């Protein structure tokens, strides 16, 4: 797998996302279509890099600000930028229990420390699983 292509510039692991996994799993795609109330043919995501910074199932017609920024700077990931972290990566409570957007900075720090492939193979899934199913600890 091309982990650069399948990891969003902001650090989201597209390769573990149900919307991406639905490209190869009809039962999952059917469930997503039903749960989100979107047509079956739109209930997939190929990753923002494969869609020029957009997410078609969200009806995006323009690339997100993070994608525009990394394209302008000629870098692969936000953690490669001298301005990292910036407000493009600000965490939000909105939809935090549904989508993993608040894992971006943590993932990017791990990518920088571990390397992309090592993070992708050994840590990315556990970050997402802990975020959604783990218990808060101090």
- For 39-78, what is each residue's pLDDT tens digit? 999 999 999 999 999 999 899 999 999 999 999 999 999 9
* Residue 7 DSSP class: B
Q: Which helix (H) or strand (E) holds 122?
A: helix 116-122
Please give the model's pTM, rounded to 2 decimal places. 0.92
Cβ–Cβ contacts within 10 Å for residue 98, how many?
A: 8
pLDDT of residue 98: 84
Token digits of residue 137: 């600890």
Structural domain boundaries in the chain: 14-133
């Amino acid at each position: 797998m091309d982990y650069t292509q399948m990891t969003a510039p902001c650090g989201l692991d597209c390769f573990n996302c149900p919307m991406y996994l639905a490209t190869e799993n009809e039962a999952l795609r059917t469930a997503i279509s039903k749960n989100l109330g979107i047509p079956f043919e739109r209930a997939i995501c190929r990753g923002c890099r494969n869609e020029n910074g957009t997410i078609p199932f969200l009806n995006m017609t323009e690339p997100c600000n993070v994608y525009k920024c990394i394209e302008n700077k000629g870098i692969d990931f936000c953690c490669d930028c001298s301005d990292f972290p910036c407000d493009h990566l600000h965490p939000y409570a909105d939809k935090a229990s549904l989508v993993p957007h608040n894992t971006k900075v943590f993932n990017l720090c791990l990518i920088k420390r571990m390397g992309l492939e090592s993070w992708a193979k050994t840590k990315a899934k556990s970050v997402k699983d802990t975020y959604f199913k783990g218990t808060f600890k101090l």
